[in-house]
């Protein structure tokens, strides 16, 4: 019996030793797995943080770029508005010239625009009543004087001289066709200036059109003056 007990005890001892060794090995493996898992988790966390940082940086860059673009758009819009106001003011000043200066300006425009001397001039309703006849008469006189020699001033001052001078001008207008501009019964919805018509051909001398054309040519120069740094 004693021998059997020793054998049994030995078997139990060996079994316990194997169990202890297995537990120790298992503990080591668990620790290794845990350590690896922690390392991997930390690495993944670092990757997530880095990706987040990169995404935030890229988004910040995009937002900054968009903000700069929007600022440039707003600045451009503001400059365009100021330029528009400058040219609008120029148009208002043209339309508000004193009457004699206004007539003189329209007369010069008519002389520059006329090619046949027989065109019709169309004004706005207001200008037709206010200055239409005066502009046509002044322009016709100037056109005739270009074609007919005038009498000496001392002769033209007399009643006879004035009559002869007028007769010469009238004859010249009939013979040459110059100085036959007419005031049209038609009116146009324009702020100032006129439309000159010769058959099917129209020459637009409306102030808003002239200012717009000048703006296309002068806008850069005006902008340089207004916005010089």
pLDDT (tens digit per residue) in 12-63: 677 677 777 767 777 777 677 677 767 776 877 787 777 777 777 788 778 7
pLDDT at residue 74 in the model: 72
Judge if 123 and 215 occupy the same domain.
yes
Q: What is the pTM of this model?
A: 0.57
Judge if 54 and 137 occupy the same domain.
no
pLDDT at residue 15 in the model: 66
Mean pLDDT along residues 176-182:
74
For residue 156, how many C-alpha atoms fall within 13 Å in the half-sphere facing its CB?
10
Judge if 86 and 112 occupy the same domain.
no
Judge if 104 and 187 occupy the same domain.
yes
Judge if 76 and 172 occupy the same domain.
no
The answer to whether the beta carbons of residues 121 and 194 sit under 8 Å apart is yes
Q: How many domains does the chain have?
A: 2
Could you tell me what percent of the chain has a pLDDT over 90? 38
Judge if 42 and 130 occupy the same domain.
no
Please give the structure tokens belonging to residue 219.
């806008």
Judge if 87 and 198 occupy the same domain.
no
Judge if 46 and 56 occupy the same domain.
yes
Query: Which structural domain range is residue 160 located in?
Result: 98-226
Quote the CA–CA distance of 92 and 162 in Å, as a whole number.
39
pLDDT at residue 182 in the model: 96
Whether 168 has a pLDDT exceeding 50, the answer reads: no
Quote the CA–CA distance of 100 and 108 in Å, as a whole number.
12
pLDDT at residue 177 in the model: 54
Quote the CA–CA distance of 5 and 11 in Å, as a whole number.
10
The answer to whether the beta carbons of residues 135 and 110 sit under 8 Å apart is yes
Distance between start and end Cα atoms, the chain = 115
Judge if 135 and 197 occupy the same domain.
yes
């Amino acid at each position: 019996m004693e021998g059997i007990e020793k054998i049994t005890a030995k078997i139990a001892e060996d079994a316990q030793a194997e169990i202890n060794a297995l537990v120790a090995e298992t503990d080591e493996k668990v620790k290794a797995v845990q350590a690896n898992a922690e390392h991997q988790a930390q690495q993944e966390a670092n990757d997530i943080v880095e990706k987040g940082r990169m995404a935030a940086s890229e988004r910040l860059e995009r937002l900054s770029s968009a903000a700069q673009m929007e600022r440039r758009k707003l600045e451009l819009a503001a400059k365009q508005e100021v330029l528009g106001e400058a040219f609008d003011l120029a148009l208002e000043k043209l339309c508000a010239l004193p009457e004699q200066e206004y007539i003189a300006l329209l007369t010069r425009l008519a002389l520059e625009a006329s090619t046949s001397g027989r065109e019709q001039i169309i004004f706005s309703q207001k200008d037709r009543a206010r200055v239409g006849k005066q502009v046509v008469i002044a322009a016709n006189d100037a056109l005739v004087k270009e074609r007919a020699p005038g009498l000496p001033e001392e002769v033209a001052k007399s009643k006879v001289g004035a009559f002869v001078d007028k007769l010469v001008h009238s004859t010249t207008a009939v013979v040459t066709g110059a100085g036959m501009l007419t005031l049209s019964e038609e009116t146009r919805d324009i702020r100032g200036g006129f439309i000159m018509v010769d058959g099917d051909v129209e020459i637009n001398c409306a102030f808003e059109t002239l200012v717009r054309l000048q703006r296309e040519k002068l806008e850069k120069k005006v902008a340089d003056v207004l916005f010089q740094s």
